[in-house]
Structures are given as C-alpha cells and as structure tokens.
C-alpha cells in the first residue's frame, strides 16, 4: 500500500515520477502528489483521488526540476483529501511515506511545543516536522535523518528531498519495502521494482533498518547502526512491457485470461510430464519427519493456504495449524521445536504476514514462503521460498496469483505425501496427471464467459449472496464471496455447506442467491442435501457442477453451470477460476471500479 517513487536525474523528474506512480497506483488511489526541487525551492502538486487528477494538475501547471519524489496514497491517518496528500513538508524538506508512524500523536505534541506548525492530519507530517526542526538547527540532511529515524515507532519506507541540497534523495526503510534503481547518470527510488521497470532493471533493495543517500552517480547505503554497507545490485525480471492491459477492458479481465498460462508455468516448475513425478523444491525442513506445519497468510492468500491444509492433511497426513497472520502474530501460539511454517503472499511484502514470518522464525520454525516476487522481503527472510509464476498482478482483487498459490500448495502436498510414505507411486502419478490437466481445464472455464455473464446478470441486483462448498471447496466458497464483496460491493459470505443449518439458513429467502460449488465425488451427496434444505426454504440455488452433477442439481436449482469433470483433487483450482469470473462480471454490470475498488489497495504493507 502507498507507492513511493523518487528520481535524481538528468531530465525533468515530474513525467518520470508520474510514470512510476502509474505502475504503483494499485497500491493506493486516495490521492497522489509529487514534489521537485526548483532553484533551491521545493515545489509540489497534489490532487485528491486518482493519479489522473494529478496528471491533469501537472498538465495545467507543469513542475520543472530534475530531482523529485512522488506518492500515491492509501490513507491510514487523516482523510483522503488533497491537504493530506503526500509529499508533506516545509520549505526545507519534503517527505513521502509508506507505513504508519505509531507514536505520531506524542511526536506532534512535542513538536508543536517546540513551535513547529502542522498543516495536515497525517502521521507522516511528524517525520517532516522532525527533520525540519533538525535542519533549522543547522543539521545536515544526513544528520537530520540519523536523528529522526530512531524517534519513529511503527513502519516506514521514506523518500526525502532537501531544499538546500539539490540532486539528492535520502531514503529509509523499516518495515515497508524500498528499492533503489541504477541508471546512467541518474538514479531512482521506488516501492518496488515494478515502479522502476521503464527506467531501469538494475535494482538494489534496502534491508530492514537501512537508509541511503541517492545522488545521480550512485547510492551510499547505511545500515540501522549508520555504518556504510554494500547492497547487491540485481537485474529484476520486470520489463516496461510487463504491465500493459492489452486489449482487455480491465487488468482483472486480462489476468483472469492469463490463468491457463500462469498455471502451466507454475506447475511446470514442479511436475515432470514424462514421469508424472513431482520435483520438490528445496525445503528448509525434512518433509518425512516434520511433526507439524503452521500456515499463515492474509486475504485470498490465506484461503489458498486453507485449501493447502485440506490437501496436506489428506495426502501427507501432516498436522497443520492455520491462521490469518494478523491474529497469529499476536496469539503467542505454542510451537513444536522441530516444526515448520509456510507463509503465503503475492507481493511478499504483506506487513502482517511478514510479522508472522518473523514470529515463527523466532519460535524456531523452519520457514518456507510462497511468493510471487523473488526479491521480496518475505523471500529474503525465509529459509527458502517457492515462486508462483503469475507475473505482475495489477488488478487489486487477486486472481491468477491466487490460483498459482493453489497450484504450488497442491504440488507441495503431493510431494510431501510421497516423502512421508502416504502416497504410492501410482497415487503420485494420478494426482500429477490431474494437475497437468488444470491449465487446459481453466481455459475451458474461461470459454464459459457468456454463461457466467448470464448468472452475473441474475445476481447483480442482490443485496446478499451466499457461496457454499464443502471440504477443500469451502475456502473456495469464501474466495467467491470475498471477490464479490471486494469488487461489486455486494455483501457475500462463504460458508461450509454443512454449517448452513447452524445459523445462515435463517438468511434464506427468494432474494438471496445461493451459489453452490458442487462437483461430483467426495462430499457431493452431502452438499446436495444441504442445498436441498436451502431450496426447500425458497432459496435460489445457482450451482457450479460437472456433467454428472447436472441431473441431480437441475431438479431444484435455478441455474446450473457445467464445469469440466475432473477428480476431486484439482476442483478447488478450477472452481476458483469460475467464482472469480462471476465476481468480475457482476462488478462490470454494477459499473464499479473493477481494478481499483474503493477503500482497497494491493500489497498491504501496513498493519
């Protein structure tokens, strides 16, 4: 959340800052702003709402200057107004910030007592005012930064420019990610390598506690004790072309249609089509002897982990604890001495998941992370990490990254099942063969677009929608509900179908569509009974099933959509594609901002 860019360059900074912010807008779109140095003065333009408003403001009133910083905001403290838009500062200094300054109230009181006057309601302004106080007392920018950072509690990624010290950005990191990009005679700062993709592919990451002085010739990195350190420059995988929308109406639509390719790429890392064997990635624990696994994540990634738990317990007979990271990190769970943990996150920067990772690591757990960004903080801090090969995901609602996480969990479950002696070679080959069919079947589901649009039309005016599933399809029912809430703003809940009679069935009336995820096999008959109980009370059942399920469901369901008939194992991945497609079409019909839904942002780097 919140995107930061900085340029110390040779040409005009503002257009580059806006281009960088465009690639970060998925991280926040409450407001945007840029500040540059113009003849020893700091000038800025800011605008409430989307980046296009800032671009309009800059077109009307251009901003010269070769050194500058920019920000796209997801507000935590202070309303999303122009006044609270970053950059914040004084005549001496300007600051953009990603994170939360937790002791902002006490710092503000202290600074006001010192005579500093505040102009915004944000926590960030305390950083600018602290710096300003030190600068006013004659400190150099470096000294001001060194004095200021230890005073801040909470999390920050910061980029700062100084009126009297042109051609320099100081950037600092605690908790929130930051990358420094290396150009030819110009240098960049960004929240991630994606922001810098059109400018450079040579990137170094600030480590926890680092700060750096960035000038046109390079960067001087310092660690949390202010000692000079070197940080490796890597070549990122991102190119400028990686983030286009193509001919699709929305990034989400494009990303939905990338499912077959992404699933193929992700599965290919682990599955050998010739032998139908799983090639396990290097694990930081012995799967044969690990006594217990903890899985933790947030949002859709948590639901991928939850499906993983069903698979790991069933196929590998491995006890698994699972919890959302925002709870786990404060729960003080008892941990097995030789236990291990799997943390799942698309960005690899999710603040709560990263905190859970650190807690589990301190508790002696061996850490495996499943991330989509190889250079991310989680990847760097884990004992080892497994990559989803989803490519950049720009739509705020996760689609392909979620199913890629499922694909990884599926492969781990089969590989660990084999390692623990609970799956035979034939079992492994049967399950691997099923996974190899997933990309093709995902393509078949995407061909159901018109049918899914008809279902979308029939639920787009509902006030509430229930999604039901059982077993490993229960988390997928929750994913369907989460996606619908996120992008269509319709209230939706995902329930384990067997739980209906313990409460939610009271909600059933003809105005509440019930979306049933009901493949044959496994718990089909149990789910069917639960659905009939809902239908008997006037519920409008809309069922996703396979060819063999149609005769049973058509007896009482209002609509039945046929999905490919596959074994029970791979249904969560395929039914996830179907519910995501449904949520997309409902959102389009309701005319919401599909890629940038209200109040949300991607890469949740604040707690």
Residues lying near ligand HGA in the complex (CB under 6 A) are found at 1-2, 28, 73-78, 97-100, 122-124, 605-606
Tokens of 241: 């072309």
| In 192-320, alpha helices (H) | 193-196, 251-257, 259-268, 299-316
Task: Spot the catalytic one: 2, 298, 411, 518.
Answer: 2
50 catalytic residue (yes or no)? no
> Of 387, 378, 380, nearest to 411 (Cα)?
387
The distance of closest approach from Cβ of residue 245 to ligand HGA in the complex, given in angstroms and rounded to an integer, is 23
Residue 192 DSSP class: S
The distance of closest approach from Cβ of residue 119 to ligand HGA in the complex, given in angstroms and rounded to an integer, is 13
Q: Is 450 exposed, middle or buried (0-12, 13-18, 19+ CB in 10 A)?
A: exposed
Q: Give CA–CA dist 407/267, Å, rounded.
A: 6
The separation between CA 484 and the C-alpha centre of its own chain, rounded to angstroms, equals 17
Q: Are 156 and 127 in contact (CB under 8 A)?
A: yes
Name which of 126 and 527 has its Cβ closer to ligand HGA: 126
| In 280-424, alpha helices (H) | 299-316, 325-331, 351-362, 377-381, 400-419
Q: Give CA–CA dist 313/405, Å, rounded.
A: 17
Q: Cα separations (Å) of 458 from 497, 506, 537? A: 22, 22, 19
Task: Spot the catalytic one: 254, 448, 485, 602.
Answer: 602
Q: Are 302 and 347 in contact (CB under 8 A)?
A: no
Tokens of 456: 């979308």
Q: Cα separations (Å) of 383 from 177, 237, 341, 357? A: 19, 22, 10, 10
Name which of 71 and 165 has its Cβ closer to ligand HGA: 71
> Of 337, 378, 373, nearest to 355 (Cα)?
378
The distance of closest approach from Cβ of residue 27 to ligand HGA in the complex, given in angstroms and rounded to an integer, is 7
Per-residue b or e along 577-602, where b marks 16 or more CB atoms closer than 10 Å to that residue's CB: bbbbbbbbbbbbeeebebbbbeebbb
Name which of 96 and 541 has its Cβ closer to ligand HGA: 96
Q: Are 471 and 496 in contact (CB under 8 A)?
A: no
The distance of closest approach from Cβ of residue 372 to ligand HGA in the complex, given in angstroms and rounded to an integer, is 19
The distance of closest approach from Cβ of residue 594 to ligand HGA in the complex, given in angstroms and rounded to an integer, is 21
The distance of closest approach from Cβ of residue 2 to ligand HGA in the complex, given in angstroms and rounded to an integer, is 3
> Where are any strands of DSSP class E within 401-553?
464-469, 491-496, 513-517, 540-545
Tokens of 302: 């948590």
Name which of 132 and 479 has its Cβ closer to ligand HGA: 132
Name which of 99 and 392 has its Cβ closer to ligand HGA: 99
551 CB-near residues (< 8 Å, 6+ apart): none
Q: Are strands 88-89 and 93-101 parallel, antiparallel or unpaired?
A: antiparallel
298 catalytic residue (yes or no)? no
* Residue of closest CB approach to ligand HGA: 1
Helix (H, G, I), strand (E, B) or coil at 228: strand
The distance of closest approach from Cβ of residue 84 to ligand HGA in the complex, given in angstroms and rounded to an integer, is 6
Name which of 128 and 412 has its Cβ closer to ligand HGA: 128
Q: Give CA–CA dist 343/171, Å, rounded.
A: 28
Q: Are 190 and 6 in contact (CB under 8 A)?
A: yes
Name which of 48 and 123 has its Cβ closer to ligand HGA: 123
Q: Are 11 and 66 in contact (CB under 8 A)?
A: yes
Name which of 78 and 339 has its Cβ closer to ligand HGA: 78
Crossing angle between the packed helical segments 299-316 and 474-488, to the nearest 10 degrees = 170
Q: Give CA–CA dist 369/495, Å, rounded.
A: 28
The distance of closest approach from Cβ of residue 6 to ligand HGA in the complex, given in angstroms and rounded to an integer, is 15
Q: Give CA–CA dist 374/352, Å, rounded.
A: 19
> Of 429, 390, 213, 366, nearest to 301 (Cα)?
390
Angle (nearest 5°) at CA 474 between 494 and 382: 105
Name which of 1 and 477 has its Cβ closer to ligand HGA: 1
Name which of 171 and 527 has its Cβ closer to ligand HGA: 171
The distance of closest approach from Cβ of residue 256 to ligand HGA in the complex, given in angstroms and rounded to an integer, is 26
Name which of 78 and 391 has its Cβ closer to ligand HGA: 78
The distance of closest approach from Cβ of residue 301 to ligand HGA in the complex, given in angstroms and rounded to an integer, is 18
The distance of closest approach from Cβ of residue 211 to ligand HGA in the complex, given in angstroms and rounded to an integer, is 18
* Phi, psi (deg, nearest 5) at residue 424: -85, 170
Q: Are 537 and 508 in contact (CB under 8 A)?
A: yes
Give catalytic residue positions. Answer: 2, 602
């Amino acid at each position: 959340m919140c995107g930061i860019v900085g340029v110390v360059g040779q040409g005009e900074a503002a257009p580059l800052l806006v281009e960088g912010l465009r690639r970060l807008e998925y991280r926040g779109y409450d407001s945007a702003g840029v500040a540059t140095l113009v003849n020893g003065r700091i000038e800025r333009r800011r605008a409430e709402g989307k980046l296009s408003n800032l671009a309009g403001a800059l077109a009307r009133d251009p901003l010269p200057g070769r050194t500058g910083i920019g920000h796209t905001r997801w507000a935590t403290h202070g309303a999303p107004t122009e006044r609270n838009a970053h950059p914040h500062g004084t005549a001496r200094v300007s600051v953009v910030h990603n994170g939360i300054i937790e002791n902002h109230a006490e710092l503000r009181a202290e600074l006001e007592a010192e005579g500093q006057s505040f102009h915004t309601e944000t926590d960030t302004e305390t950083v600018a005012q602290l710096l300003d106080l030190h600068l006013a007392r004659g400190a150099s920018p470096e000294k001001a930064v060194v004095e200021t950072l230890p005073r801040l509690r909470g999390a920050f990624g910061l980029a700062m420019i100084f009126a009297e010290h042109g051609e320099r950005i100081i950037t600092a990191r605690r908790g929130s990610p930051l990358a420094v990009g290396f150009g030819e005679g110009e240098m960049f700062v960004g929240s991630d390598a994606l922001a810098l993709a059109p400018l450079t592919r040579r990137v170094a990451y600030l480590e926890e506690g680092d700060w750096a002085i960035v000038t046109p010739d390079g960067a001087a990195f310092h660690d949390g004790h202010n000692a000079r350190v070197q940080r490796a420059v890597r070549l990122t995988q991102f190119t400028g072309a990686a983030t286009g929308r193509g001919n699709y109406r929305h990034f989400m639509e494009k990303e939905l249609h990338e499912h077959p390719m992404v699933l193929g790429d992700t599965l290919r890392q682990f599955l050998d089509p010739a032998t139908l064997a799983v090639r396990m990635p290097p694990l930081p624990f012995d799967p044969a002897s690990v006594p217990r696994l903890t899985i933790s994540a947030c949002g859709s990634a948590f639901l991928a982990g939850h499906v993983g738990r069903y698979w790991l317990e069933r196929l590998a007979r491995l006890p698994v604890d699972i919890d959302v990271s925002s709870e786990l990190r404060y729960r003080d769970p008892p941990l097995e001495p030789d236990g291990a943990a799997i943390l799942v996150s698309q960005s690899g920067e999710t603040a709560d998941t990263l905190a859970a990772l650190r807690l589990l690591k301190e508790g002696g757990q061996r850490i495996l992370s499943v991330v989509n960004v190889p250079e991310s903080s989680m990847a760097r801090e884990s004992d080892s990490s497994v990559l989803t090969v989803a490519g950049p995901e720009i739509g705020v609602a996760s689609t392909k990254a979620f199913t890629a996480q499922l694909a990884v969990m599926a492969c781990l479950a089969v590989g660990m099942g084999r390692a623990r002696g609970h799956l035979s070679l034939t079992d492994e080959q049967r399950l691997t063969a099923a996974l190899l069919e997933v990309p093709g079947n995902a393509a078949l589901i995407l061909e159901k677009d018109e049918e899914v649009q008809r279902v979308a039309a029939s639920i787009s005016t509902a006030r509430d929608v229930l999604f039901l599933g059982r077993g490993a399809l229960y988390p997928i029912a929750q994913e369907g509900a989460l996606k619908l809430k996120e992008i269509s703003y319709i209230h939706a809940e995902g329930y384990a179908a067997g739980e209906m009679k313990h409460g939610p069935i009271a909600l059933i009336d003809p105005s509440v569509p019930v979306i049933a995820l009901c493949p044959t096999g496994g718990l089909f008959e149990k789910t069917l009974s639960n659905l009939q109980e809902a239908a008997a009370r006037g519920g409008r059942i809309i069922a996703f099933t396979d060819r063999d399920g149609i005769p049973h469901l058509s007896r009482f369901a209002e609509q039945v959509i046929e999905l490919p008939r596959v074994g029970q194992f791979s249904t969560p991945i395929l039914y996830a594609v179907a519910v995501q497609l449904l949520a997309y079409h409902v959102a389009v019909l309701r005319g919401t901002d599909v890629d940038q839904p209200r109040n949300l942002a991607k890469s949740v780097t604040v707690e």
